[in-house]
């Protein structure tokens, strides 16, 4: 029977990747909530988390606020870091 002491700790890159993604979602939500309210047009705004659509460009051209323009750089950094952490855990399990 496996005990909980045999479980390897989660790699810090996984936590960092999740943190980057969560920070990116908060930034995205706060920025795009300035146009049409927090949940107005959420279906169109959702695509703006990871890439730019014509709708995203339209929203960005009409938003005038104090929050810096959202760019998905943190989202991509989070995904890459998370994938790296998962890959490292996968490599450790092979040992």
Summarize pLDDT for 18-33 with one digit per residue, the tens: 999 999 999 999 999 9
Residue 64 lies in domain: 13-93
For the chain, the domain total comes to: 1
Does some domain include residue 6?
Answer: no
> What pTM, to 2 d.p., does this model score?
0.81
Domain presence at residue 19 = yes
Which pLDDT does position 15 carry in this prediction? 93
Residue 7 forms part of a structural domain: no
Structure letter (DSSP) for residue 66: S
Q: Is residue 80 part of a domain?
A: yes
CA atoms in the 13 A half-sphere facing the CB of 3 = 2
Query: Does some domain include residue 4?
Result: no
In a domain, 2, yes or no: no
Alpha-carbon span 85 to 66, nearest angstrom: 34
Residue 59 lies in a domain: yes
Of 8, 13, 2, the C-alpha closest to 93 is: 8
**pLDDT, tens digit, for every residue of 38-82?**
888 888 898 899 888 899 999 999 999 899 999 999 999 999 999
């Amino acid at each position: 029977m496996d005990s909980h002491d045999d479980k390897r700790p989660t790699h810090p890159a996984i936590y960092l990747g999740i943190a980057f993604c969560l920070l990116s979602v908060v930034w995205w939500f706060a920025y795009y909530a300035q146009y049409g309210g927090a949940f107005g047009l959420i279906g169109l705004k959702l695509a703006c988390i990871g890439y730019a659509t014509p709708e995203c460009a339209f929203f960005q051209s009409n938003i005038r606020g104090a929050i810096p323009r959202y760019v998905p750089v943190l989202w991509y950094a989070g995904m890459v870091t998370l994938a790296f952490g998962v890959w490292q855990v996968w490599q450790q399990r092979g040992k």
